[in-house]
Amino acid sequence: MTRDIIYQIFPDRFCDGNELNNPQNSKKWNSPVDRECFMGGDLEGIISKLDYIKALGATAIYLNPIFQSPSNHKYDTSDYFKIDDSFGTVKDFENLVTECHKKNIKIIIDGVFNHTSTEFFAFKDILINQEKSKYINWYHILNYPVVVTTPPPYKACGGASFLPKLNTKNLEVQNYIISIVKFWEGKGIDGIRFDVPFEIEPSLLKRIREETKLYLIGEIWGYGGDYVPRYFDGVTNYLLRDLIKKAVVNQCITSKMFVDEWNTIYSMYGDNINSMVNLAGSHDTERIYTLCQNNINKEKIFYAFLFSLPGIPLIYYGDEIGLKGENDPYCRGCMDWDKYNWNKEIYNNIKELANINNTNEVFKDGKVKLTSLGERVLIITRYDNKKSISVIINFGFQSEIINGSVIEPMSFKFI
């Protein structure tokens, strides 16, 4: 998957392809979102937009959770073997996989194995039978009676009572989770992104790594050297996002400081650096256009960094057309399918960068060299035995003359 570009989709907000499966009281498409609302996006909607995704240059889709769940975000799973009713059916998912593979698009699903919803069968049994439940060791019960309240009498993800934490050290739990992985692997998926794997028992991660050939990605917000390649092929490279943010958005570091910090990240992963997922934003961050204070040039060079440095570029749905939004829930607004409202400059920039990345092998597995010039000018060179491509990025406040060429502030140029 190191040769791919990932397009991330939050299913409820991407495209409503079948209004018949919309949850009750779904809001009108493109109306303001909140933490609890449903908008009606589904798998049929995604299938209908595969040509759009392909034309953008993406070659893989990462879906936020799609399993049965009471929420709009689906990070509180109630049934791991069922597609949420509002998204469709297992048959719809199989159709999605088939249609994606016809277009050479891979499918990555979200694996939420650290916690469940309170409606998950094992936890419901505990609520009913209390100490006598045969699933009592599937969770971390702190005291009785077990009730859903705040604070909860059990360990919960983020302390949220609706997210009881599984005891992933328990072999029964481990076997159950591995059966989930095997089930969806049998449906043709290409990879799994693991939610909060740093809270999961390492022995389970090790077993999954040994028992599947799927491409495995871990959600890691900091140092990920302990996870790659031991448990995952790659992790979300939020460290790189933070570094680019300091250079492009805050403009608070020099190009030399950028190179020094990049070398630290590179040394963390070594040859596995090409498997890291380079992202500008996600469902857990503010939109990149908002982060860049609606400055198009800043967003453009943010993506120039992501597509030029080693790693797998990820585009969060809607970022390519300039969607705005602060962090959750506002970063999870509806995809706007009215082209009149698109920011064409941002769209064309991402599409062009994706094309350059897809058509030049050096961006997939070539070596990298960073050269610092002046205060805030950087040259990124990707090369192999056959070819070399460089991009000059000026993330400073003034124009710079490099090799006789004027590089305007907040701009980049391939040479």
* pLDDT, tens digit, 9 for 90 and up, residues 124-134: 999 999 999 99
pLDDT for 409 equals 94
288 by DSSP, 3-state: which? helix
Note the pLDDT tens digit of each residue in 137-177: 999 999 999 999 999 999 999 999 999 999 999 999 999 99
Q: pTM score > 0.85 for this model?
A: yes
Active site residue 195: yes
83 phi and psi angles, rounded to 5 deg? -75, 140
How many CB atoms are closer than 10 A to CB 260?
Answer: 13
What's the pLDDT at 387? Answer: 95
Which residue's structure tokens are 């498997």? 275
- Residue 38's pLDDT is 98
* 413 exposure class (CB count in 10 Å sphere: 0-12, 13-18, 19+): middle
| Alpha-carbon torsion (198, 203, 206, 208), positive or negative | negative
Q: In which element (H, E) is residue 216 found?
A: strand 215-218
Residues 6+ apart with CB under 8 A from 166: 113, 114, 115, 116, 138, 139, 173, 177
Q: With bands split at pLDDT 50, 70 and 90, how would you rate the model's confidence at 401?
A: confident
pLDDT score at 173: 98
Q: Which of 280, 283, 290 is nearest to 323 (CA)?
A: 290
Q: What is the pLDDT of residues 180-206, one digit of tens each?
A: 999 999 999 999 999 999 999 999 999
Q: Which residue of the set 76, 110, 195, 299 is catalytic? A: 195
402 pLDDT more than 90: no
Q: Is 286 a catalytic residue?
A: no
Q: What is the mean pLDDT of the chain?
A: 97
The pLDDT assigned to 406 comes to 85
What are the φ and ψ backbone dihedral angles of 191, each rounded to 5 degrees?
-165, 170
- pLDDT exceeds cutoff 90 at 404: no
Q: Are strands 400-402 and 405-407 parallel, antiparallel or unpaired?
A: antiparallel
Phi and psi angles of residue 319, each rounded to the nearest 5 degrees, phi first: -65, -30
**Per-residue pLDDT band at 403 (split at 50, 70, 90):** confident
Annotated catalytic residue, options 12, 110, 219, 400: 219
